[in-house]
Structure 1
C-alpha cells in the first residue's frame, strides 16, 4: 500500500522559478468583491490576467522581477492602478471604491462565444442560447453538440458510458429515472454545460467516455433577485412547467432557493418486428404517460471569515407517473398469412421520491492558494412501482384462442441510501499546483419484489419470481493531481486509486449471495504545447470505469408484456476504458481532434430467446469495443449579428463479441452539427437560433442504428429593460428524430422503431426582478460517483 501512495505523490518536479502575486480585493466595508478583473502589464504589454474568486481572492504568476502595473477593474467600482517593483512572492490587498452613478443598463458590443473549446472539454454557454429558454436540463443535453439522448439514456456520439453531474455532484440515477429527474430542472437555473472528455484524477473515475457537468447560476451581488418562469409545450398533448427561484445576499449570508412544478402527458410509440424461423411477429405499442413532478432546493452559505465558508444544501424531488400502454402483435406464418393476434395492456403506476442533504466546508489557509474543501452528502431515494398486465390471443380478429389469456400484477419497492465524504487539499508550491484528496462512499440498496399471476381477476403469489435482494457497496478512493506551466508547455499528471467492496444477497426459493472486492488505478495525463499565438497542441490520456447501474444489478423481472421481460444480474462486472486524444487549435477557433478509446467487458441487457417465443432481456458482460474518432470544430463570426458553430465528426467502431449468440460488427460513420445565433437589432432585444444536426448509421453493442437528423428553431424577445423575456421554440421541425435500429441474436433478427415525440412547439415567459446581475459561481466538486447508477 505504501508503494501506491509513493507513486501518487512523488511526481518529477522540474521547472523554472516563478513569482506569485496574490491578495484580496474588497470594498470600503471590507466585503470581498468576486469576479474582479486583475491585469498585470509591463511596459503597456499584458503579461498576466485573472479574476477574483467568490471570496475576493486572486493569485497570478509572473516570470521576471521587474516593475509591473497592476489593474483592478469591475463595472460597479472605480478602476485602480498600482505600480510596483516585484522581486519575490508578494501579497497585494486592495480596496475598491464603488461608483456613485451606476448605469441601469450597459450595452456591450461583444458577446461570449456560445461554444468554447478547451483541451479536455468544451463548454456551452446556455445563458446565450435562444432555444434554451423555457426548456429543461434533459432537453438542453439533447441539443448539446456531440451529445445524443433518447427516452431512456444519454451518451456521446459514437461512444457510451457518460457520467452526468450537477455542479460536480453526481446524480444517483440511471436510465429512465435519470431522464425524468433532468426534466424537472429548468433551463433558467443553468449557466453552462461542460462536456469533459478527459477528466483529471480529482474527478470520479466513473463514466467511460467522460463527464457531462451541468453548471447552475448563482448571484454573488448584495441584495436579492428572483425569477419566475412559465412555459407551455404542445405536441400531441399539452405539458406545463412553472418554476420560481430567489437569491438573497446580505453580509456573510447567501441564500438560493427554488420551487418547480411540472405536469403533462407524453406519448410514446414503438414497434418491434421479430423474424423467427417459422413465424414473423409484428408488434405495435402506444403508451400514454400522465405525470406530475414537484421539486424544491435550498442552498445556504455563510462566510465565517475571509478564509472560511460553510454551505448547507437540500434538494427534494417527487414524481408520480401513470402510464398505460396498448400492444397489438400480428403473428404471420411462414407463408406470410395471418396466423393469430395477441393484444395486451400494461398499466404502470410509479412513485419516486428523492432527498439529498449536503454540507461543505471551504477554508483558504493564506493568499498563496493553499485551501481545503470537505464535502459530505446523504442521499435517500425510494420508489414504488406497481404494474398490471393483461394479454389475450385471438385466432382471428374476433375468435379467442382458448387458454391464451394471462394476467399478472407486479409490485416492487426499492430503497437506496448513499453516504459520501470527500476531501481535497490544494498545495501550490514553487510554481506547481498540487491537489491531493480522498473519498469514502457507503451504498445500501434494498429491493422487495412480488409477482402475482392470475386469471379473471384471481391472483396467486409466485414466490420463485419474487426476490428480496440487498446490495452493499463500500468504496475508498485517494487521488493526486499535479499541474505545471512554464514557457510554452503545460503539464498535468494525476493518479486515482479506488478500492471497492461489494456484497449482495438475493432471497427467493433459494438464497444466492455474492462478494466481490477489487482494487483499480486510474492514471490521467495532459500535455499542452503552444507553438505560437495561433497554434496550440494538446495530448490527453485517461483510464475510466463504468459500474453497472443499480437497476441492472436487481434480479427482479420487469415485464413489458406477456412475451417480453427484463431482468438484472447481481454478478455483472464493471467495464474499463482507456482514452487517448491529440488535438490542434488554430487561431483559437478551429480545432482538430483525433481520439481513440478501448473498452473491455461492456455490459447491457441483451435478448435471450425462450420457449414459446418469450424474449428475456438479461444483463451480461458480452462485448469489447474500440472507437477511432476524428472531430473538427470551427467557430465563425463574420458579422456582428451572426455567430455560427460547426462540428464534424468521423468515426470507426469495432465491436468484438464475447458470447456465441452474436457476431462481431464493424462500422464507420459521421456526425455533423451547425448552430447559428442571430441578432436582429443593435440592442440585442430580438434574437433567433437555428440548430441542425445529422447522425449517420451507427452501432451500439449488438444494435445497428439508422440515420437520424434534427432541425430546431427559436425566437426570443427581451422587453421592459430586458426584465421580461418571451420565447417561441419549435423542436424537430422536420419530424425526423425517430430511432430505428436492428439486432441479430441467435440468428433471429429484430427491427425496432421508437418515437417519443421530440417534435413540439413551446411558448415560454420569464420575468426577473430585484438585483439582476447574475454571475456564475462554481462550487467545489463533491466527487460523488453513483451518477448513472
Structure 2
C-alpha cells in the first residue's frame, strides 16, 4: 500500500511541474456586477441564456468582489441576465463565444422604482433538463412532478434511467451504475439501494447528474456510468429556511413533511434539515413456473403474492462551513437515515403434474420487518495557495456506520396433502463500517492547461449473522442448513492524474487511475473463505473538437471496474415465499468494462451519441432453479462470460411556442450476453429502445405544468425477457405568497401502464411473472420559504467514501 501511494504522489509531483489538469471542457465567460456607483454587488443572481431561444443554460451567483464565472460551455451565441433584490434585472447584448475565454464588460444594475418601465424582460424558468457534453443534469425542484415523490421515483422518470422489477438501476440499458449522494458512494444496490432512495424525499434533492463516461477523478467503479445526486443547501444570508408537507394517495396514503434551516453570517455557515416520511405501498406478484428434465415437461406451479409494506423514515443532515481565511475553508457534516419497513405478504401456491393434475396446495403468510439505521460524518478542507485560485487543494475524511436488522416469519398451512403447518423464522443482524480519506490537487497554468491529481484510501469491515429456526408441531429448532455467519474486509488504495489542454478549437483530457484492491471473506458455515489482492490501471481519454459555430464533436474512451457489493457476496437467505428465496454469491468476480462514445452536438441543443462497451464477466441478477431441487427457485447474482453493448442516444429539444417547451430523449441499443448458467448456454441479444418526452407549459398567473411520458420497448437482459411498459405523468405548480410559497399537484402513471410482464427461460425451467406496484398516485404538496433573500455562492461540497458506500449493502 505504501509503495502504491509513493508512486502516485511522485507522479503527481512530476506532472504538476510541467502540465495541468482538470481544466474546463470549454471556454470560460467571466464578468463583474456593479451598482450605479461602480461598487461591487455581492450575491447577484447571474444566468447565461442561449441567444437562439432564451433558454437558461446555467445559473451562478456573484462573489464578494461582484465577479461571476461560467465554464464548461459549448461554443455558440449567448446573452447574460443579472438581478438582485432592490435592483431591476439587466441584460447584455448577445455575444458569440468561440474556443477562447471571454471577459465581459461590467454589468451595472439599476435601482428598482415604482414606475413600470416599458422594456422587454426575460422571465426564465430553470429548465428541468440541462445537457453538457458528458452529462445530463436533472433539476429536480424545477418540476411539479417532484412533489411528494421519492428520489427513486424521480430517477425512474429521468432520461435513459430504468428501474427493473428487482429494483436494479440501469443507465441507457446497462446495469452497473455508480450512485453518489453529495459525492459519497452509497453502499447499496438492488432492493437495499431502492429502499434508501424511497426514504430520501425528492424535495431534499437539488439536482441529479447522469454521467455516461466519467473521467479518472471518479472511482473506477460504474461501468454503466454515474448517477450523482446533490442535496439542497440554502445559500441565503442571515437566518432562513423552508417547511414543506405533501400527501399522496394511490391504493394507500403517503405522507412526507420536513424543514430546512440555514444561518450564514460572515465567516460562519450553519445548516440542517430533517424529513419524516410515512409511506404505504402495495405489491402484487403472479408467477407461473414450468419444470423440465431432459427436455421433457415434468410439471408446473402457480403462485399469487399480495402484500402491503409500510416505510417510515427519518432523514437528517447538519453541518457547518467556516472560512479560516480568504484562501482556506473547512467544513463538517453529519447525516443519517433511520429507515423502518414492515411488510405483510400472503401467498397462495398450487403445484401440478405433467398432466395438469393438482399435486399440492398451500398458503403462506410472510411478515418481514427491516430497520436500517445509519450515520455518516465528513470533515473537509479547501485551500487555495494564492488569490487567483489556480492552485487548489481539497481533502476529505469520512466515516460511516450502517446497521441492518431484519426479521422474518413465514407461516405455511398445507391444504393438499393435509399436513402439519410449519413456521420458518429468521433473525439477521449486520454491521458495516466504512472509513476513507482522499485528497485532490489542481494546478491551472497560463497556457490553457490544468493538472489534477489525487490519492484515496478506504477501509471496509462488514459482519453479518443470521439465525433461522423452524417450528414443526410446536417444537422450535435451529435450522443449521440456513443459519450462517459472514465476515468481509476490504482495503482499496488509489491514485490518479488528469491532464486537460486546449488547443484553439480542440480540447484534450487524459487521465490515468490506479487502484490496489485487497479483500478477505469468511463464511463460518463450512469454514469457507476467499482472499483476493490485485492492482489495476484505468485510463480515460476525452477529446472535443469545435467544427464550426453550429457543430461540435467529442470522443471519450475509458476502462472501468465493478466489484461485487457486500450484499451480493453475502450468502444469507431471505425467503420470499415457501419455494422462493434470495441469496448472495461469494464466488462472484469483478466485472471489467471497456467503453467508447462518439458525440455530435448541433446548435448546442441537438445531441447524438453512439457508444460501444464490452464487459468481461458481467454480473447479472438471475432467478434460477435452486440447488435443493423440489421445484424451488433462488434469486441471486452470477457472472456470465461476456456482454457487448451498442447504443445510440438522441436528444431532441423543441420550442413549440413561447409557452410550450418539449424535451425528447431516445436511447436505442443492442446488448448481447454470452455465458452458461443452470445447464443453459446463452448467446442472445435483442434491439431495444427507451423514449422519454417531457413538455413544460408556462400557463401564466404563476402557474406552470409538466407532462412527462416514457416508454420502454421489449428488452432481453441475460435470461430475462421483459415486455414493453411505460407511463404518463402530469404535474401542476403555482407560485404564491410573494413567491415564498409553492403549491404542487401531480398524478403519476395516469393509465397504470407500468406493471411488468417478463419471462426467465432455462433449459430445465421457465418462469413467467406479472408484477404490479403502487405507481398510480395523486399528490398535493406545499412549500413555504422564509428568511433573507440575499444569496451567496455555494460552498464546499462533500466527501470521499462514495465508492464503498454504494457497495455496502448491495450493488
How many Å separate the matches in 2 of 1:611 and 1:522? 42
For residue 304 of structure 1, the aligned residue among 295, 308, 324 is 324
Encode CA deviations 1:257-316: one digit per residue, 9 max, x unaligned: 111111132111112211012211011101111221111110211111111111110111
Give the deviation of 1:59 after TM superposition.
Answer: 9.2
Given the superposition, is the C-alpha separation of residues 240 and 166 from structure 1 closer, same or farther in structure 2, using an over 3 Å criterion?
Answer: same
SS of the residue corresponding to residue 146 of structure 2 reads: coil
Given the superposition, is the C-alpha separation of residues 184 and 573 from structure 1 closer, same or farther in structure 2, using an over 3 Å criterion?
Answer: same
Residue 641 (structure 1) aligned with residue 659 (structure 2)? yes
For residue 155 of structure 2, the aligned residue among 141, 157, 165 is 141
Residue 226 (structure 1) aligned with residue 246 (structure 2)? no
Give the deviation of 1:76 after TM superposition.
Answer: 5.1
Contact persistence 1:603–1:623 (CA under 8 A): no
Given the superposition, is the C-alpha separation of residues 38 and 731 from structure 1 closer, same or farther in structure 2, using an over 3 Å criterion?
Answer: closer
Encode CA deviations 1:123-142: one digit per residue, 9 max, x unaligned: 12223212122322111111
For residue 631 of structure 2, the aligned residue among 613, 616, 628 is 613
For residue 311 of structure 2, the aligned residue among 279, 288, 291 is 291
Contact persistence 2:46–2:62 (CA under 8 A): no
Aligned twin of 1:175? 190
Aligned twin of 1:45? none
How many Å separate the matches in 2 of 1:156 and 1:192? 17
Superposition pairs of residues 353-502 of structure 1, within 5 angstroms: 353-366=373-386, 367-395=388-416, 400-402=417-419, 405-429=421-445, 430-502=447-519
Given the superposition, is the C-alpha separation of residues 346 and 55 from structure 1 closer, same or farther in structure 2, using an over 3 Å criterion?
Answer: farther
Q: Which has the higher contact order (CA 8 A, sep 6+)?
A: 2
For residue 281 of structure 1, the aligned residue among 270, 288, 301 is 301
Aligned twin of 2:671? 653
Aligned twin of 2:75? none
Given the superposition, is the C-alpha separation of residues 729 and 23 from structure 1 closer, same or farther in structure 2, using an over 3 Å criterion?
Answer: closer
Encode CA deviations 1:423-458: one digit per residue, 9 max, x unaligned: 000111232111100100000000011111221342
Given the superposition, is the C-alpha separation of residues 311 and 139 from structure 1 closer, same or farther in structure 2, using an over 3 Å criterion?
Answer: same
Give the deviation of 1:388 after TM superposition.
Answer: 0.9
Given the superposition, is the C-alpha separation of residues 559 and 34 from structure 1 closer, same or farther in structure 2, using an over 3 Å criterion?
Answer: same
Give the deviation of 1:194 after TM superposition.
Answer: 0.8
How many Å separate the matches in 2 of 1:643 and 1:72? 20
How many Å separate the matches in 1 of 2:637 and 2:573? 11
How many Å separate the matches in 1 of 2:743 and 2:659? 20
How many Å separate the matches in 1 of 2:44 and 2:10? 38
Aligned twin of 1:127? 141
Which structure 2 segments of 5+ residues have no match?
A: 49-57, 72-79, 93-100, 292-296
Contact persistence 1:216–1:776 (CA under 8 A): no
Aligned twin of 1:86? none
Contact persistence 1:134–1:765 (CA under 8 A): no
How many Å separate the matches in 1 of 2:427 and 2:113? 62
Given the superposition, is the C-alpha separation of residues 103 and 622 from structure 1 closer, same or farther in structure 2, using an over 3 Å criterion?
Answer: farther
Contact persistence 1:219–1:776 (CA under 8 A): no
SS of the residue corresponding to residue 182 of structure 1 reads: helix
Aligned twin of 2:719? 702
How many Å separate the matches in 2 of 1:600 and 1:205? 15
Which structure 1 segments of 5+ residues have no match?
A: 40-48, 63-70, 82-89
Give the deviation of 1:148 after TM superposition.
Answer: 1.0
Moved more, 282-291 or 599-608: 599-608
Given the superposition, is the C-alpha separation of residues 633 and 776 from structure 1 closer, same or farther in structure 2, using an over 3 Å criterion?
Answer: farther
Residue 665 (structure 1) aligned with residue 665 (structure 2)? no
Given the superposition, is the C-alpha separation of residues 162 and 633 from structure 1 closer, same or farther in structure 2, using an over 3 Å criterion?
Answer: same
Encode CA deviations 1:21-76: one digit per residue, 9 max, x unaligned: 99999999x9994577599xxxxxxxxx99678676969899xxxxxxxx996535
Give the deviation of 1:670 after TM superposition.
Answer: 1.7
How many Å separate the matches in 2 of 1:61 and 1:766? 30
For residue 111 of structure 1, the aligned residue among 125, 141, 146 is 125
How many Å separate the matches in 2 of 1:633 and 1:23? 31
Moved more, 253-262 or 605-614: 605-614
Aligned twin of 2:566? 550
Given the superposition, is the C-alpha separation of residues 460 and 529 from structure 1 closer, same or farther in structure 2, using an over 3 Å criterion?
Answer: same
SS of the residue corresponding to residue 141 of structure 1 reads: helix
Superposition pairs of residues 12-51 of structure 1, within 5 angstroms: 33=42
How many Å separate the matches in 2 of 1:704 and 1:735? 21
Contact persistence 2:305–2:348 (CA under 8 A): yes
How many Å separate the matches in 2 of 1:147 and 1:361? 34
Moved more, 94-103 or 612-621: 94-103
Give the deviation of 1:331 after TM superposition.
Answer: 1.8
Aligned length: 755
Aligned twin of 1:75? 84
Contact persistence 1:231–1:762 (CA under 8 A): yes
How many Å separate the matches in 1 of 2:444 and 2:20? 14
How many Å separate the matches in 1 of 2:487 and 2:565? 14
Aligned twin of 2:338? 318
Q: For the aligned residues, what is the CA RMSD?
A: 3.5
Given the superposition, is the C-alpha separation of residues 608 and 26 from structure 1 closer, same or farther in structure 2, using an over 3 Å criterion?
Answer: farther
Residue 330 (structure 1) aligned with residue 350 (structure 2)? yes
Superposition pairs of residues 551-570 of structure 1, within 5 angstroms: 551-570=567-586
Contact persistence 1:219–1:775 (CA under 8 A): no
How many Å separate the matches in 1 of 2:587 and 2:568? 10
Encode CA deviations 1:228-250: one digit per residue, 9 max, x unaligned: 11111111111111111112111
Superposition pairs of residues 602-751 of structure 1, within 5 angstroms: 602-606=618-622, 607-609=624-626, 610-659=628-677, 660-681=679-700, 683=701, 685-751=702-768
Give the deviation of 1:157 after TM superposition.
Answer: 3.4
Give the deviation of 1:592 after TM superposition.
Answer: 1.0
Contact persistence 1:164–1:787 (CA under 8 A): no
SS of the residue corresponding to residue 425 of structure 2 reads: strand
For residue 218 of structure 2, the aligned residue among 203, 224, 249 is 203
How many Å separate the matches in 2 of 1:627 and 1:550? 26
How many Å separate the matches in 2 of 1:321 and 1:104? 58
How many Å separate the matches in 1 of 2:792 and 2:299? 62
Given the superposition, is the C-alpha separation of residues 727 and 25 from structure 1 closer, same or farther in structure 2, using an over 3 Å criterion?
Answer: closer
How many Å separate the matches in 1 of 2:149 and 2:239? 24
How many Å separate the matches in 1 of 2:635 and 2:29? 61
Aligned twin of 2:74? none
Encode CA deviations 1:653-697: one digit per residue, 9 max, x unaligned: 11111444342211111221110000111x5x1111111111111
Encode CA deviations 1:131-189: one digit per residue, 9 max, x unaligned: 12232211111111111124622222321111111222211222222222222323223
Contact persistence 2:8–2:496 (CA under 8 A): no
